[in-house]
Amino acid sequence: MTHRVFNFNAGPAALPIEVLKQAQAEFLNYQETGMSILETSHRSKAYEAVNREAEATLKELLGLGDNYRVLFLQGGASTQFAMIPMNFLPQGRTADYILTGAWSEKALKEAKLFGNTHIAATTGEDNYKRIPKIGEIQLSENPAYVHITSNNTIFGTQWQDFPSFGQAPLIADMSSDILNKPFDAEKFSLIYAGAQKNLGPSGVTVVIARKELLENNPKDIPTMMRYETHAKNDSLYNTPPAFSVYILNLVLQWLKGQGGLAAIEKRNVEKASLIYNAIDQSGGYYRGHAQKDSRSLMNITFRLPSEELEKTFASQAEKAGLIGLKGHRSVGGLRASIYNAMTVEGCRALEQFMLNFQQKNG
């Protein structure tokens, strides 16, 4: 290894260097099996141990007990957009969606294919610059579930505190901020997350759910789309994305070694503050998209005085080893994704680049 860049891509995202080194060391001969984990049967004791440890560690980090299960599925969060209403939206009931960005819109679009839906709140009229206030949320009568997206990669907003809605099950897409800080996971009936932003590599999707949700799912939907299929078989009904789960497990062990979620939150706040301070102290040269009370710790979105300057910024940053700073193609601008694996050093490098760029081009 001669050179590593600072990877600010929104996903697939940076992985901890310690995890990559461990995977490299074990790549040819995992646990003295004489073969790579890539070659190991998912029915073997070696892989089943990885699968069990990943579930147990994730529940430990979230403070969850035996009334929750963790599933390792495929198809990304986008498949969950459909699986959730297929399993939990019966005929005659309504599913409520709170819209805070493009991904919550996509989730709603899929749910509409399977049953009645209701938009309980949206900040689309504000170009998704903020998270709705609790008083703005108007639920339907006795919703089957309420769906939120905890963090919005495109617009750079994040729920600072999660709502509760009494008996209505709360479901969250946490693909881009899961495990970024402590939170009360028991508020949620189901959490799902594509791994490729904050948990590991692409290929595996994590579903964390109350056990009762994973039983007696409708029998008139395909076997692979029923959560109980995967729960009864410990995520081994079909061949799982074994290597992705293996790396995810290493990331979870790394998180434990960092001191858990309280310690990682402290580091994430320090990282984000470096970049937000560069924006706030620029005299308007850098303009953050998100309102301050809705700012994300994971995705920092901002604009410059012109699109031409934004292109120059991204190009020069890449030459300086700061990769992946272009905003999402749908909104433009710039975006720094600073997931758990991004280092403080990387954020300091970006802060200094921003200061220097403004001095030369402001």
List pLDDT tens digits, range 72-108.
Answer: 999 999 999 999 999 999 999 999 999 999 999 999 9
In a domain, 2, yes or no: no
CA of 148: how far to CAs of 74, 95, 121, 250, in Å?
21, 11, 10, 28
Residue 181 within any structural domain of the chain: yes
Q: Sign of the C-alpha dihedral, residues 79, 84, 89, 95?
A: negative
Q: What is the CATH number of the domain that holds 117?
A: 3.40.640.10
Point out the domain boundary residue: 257, 286, 301. 257
**Is the distance from CB of 149 to CB of 162 less than 8 angstroms?**
no
Domain that holds residue 144: 18-257
The C-alpha atoms of residue 337 and residue 299 are separated, in whole angstroms, by: 4
The domain total for the chain is 2
Looking at the structure, do residues 203 and 295 belong to the same domain, yes or no? no
Q: Within this chain, do residues 126 and 253 fall inside the same structural domain, yes or no?
A: yes
Catalytic residue among 96, 159, 181, 197, which? 197
Q: How far is the C-alpha of 285 from the C-alpha of 146, rounded, in Å? A: 39
Are the beta carbons of 147 and 172 closer than 8 angstroms?
yes
- The DSSP secondary structure of 246-302, one letter per residue, reads HHHHHHHHHHHHHTHHHHHHHHHHHHHHHHHHHHHTTTTSSEESS-GGGB-SSEEEE
Q: What tokens appear for 13 in the block?
A: 């995202």
Each residue's pLDDT tens digit, 117-127: 999 999 999 99
Dihedrals φ, ψ of 135, to 5°? -65, -15
Show which of 223, 239, 257 is a domain's final residue. Answer: 257
Looking only at the bridges linking them, the beta strands covering 157-158 and 151-152 are: antiparallel
Query: Same domain for 167 and 126?
Result: yes
Predicted pLDDT of residue 2: 61
293 tagged catalytic: no
70 and 142 in one domain?
A: yes
Query: Looking at the domain assignment, is residue 3 inside a domain?
Result: no
Q: Is 103 a catalytic residue?
A: yes
For residue 271, the domain's CATH number is 3.90.1150.10
Identify whether 159 is a catalytic site residue: no
| Structure tokens that stand for 58 in this block | 């994730």
DSSP 7-41: E--SSS----HHHHHHHHHHSSSGGGSSS-GGGS-
41 shares its domain with 150: yes
Say whether both 114 and 237 belong to one domain: yes
Is 361:309 a contact under the CB 8 Å cutoff? Answer: yes
Q: Kindly give the parts of the chain with pLDDT less than 70.
A: 1-2
Class of residue 355 by CB neighbours under 10 A (exposed 0-12, middle 13-18, buried 19+): middle
Q: What does the pLDDT read at residue 1?
A: 47
State phi, psi for 72 to the nearest 5 degrees.
Answer: -115, 105
pLDDT of res. 337 = 98
Catalytic residue among 96, 159, 173, 177: 173
pTM of the model: 0.97
CA–CA dist 177, 198 (Å, integer): 6
Domain presence at residue 12? no
Interatomic CA distance for residues 286 and 10, integer angstroms? 20
Domain assignment of residue 205, yes or no:
yes
Q: Is the same domain home to 224 and 278?
A: no
Give the span between the Cα atoms of 19 and 132, in whole angstroms: 37
- Give how far Cα 181 sits from Cα of 46, 161, 178, Å: 31, 11, 8
- My answer on whether 120 and 252 are in the same domain is yes
Domain-ending residue, one of 238, 257, 276: 257
The answer to whether residue 345 sits within a structural domain is yes
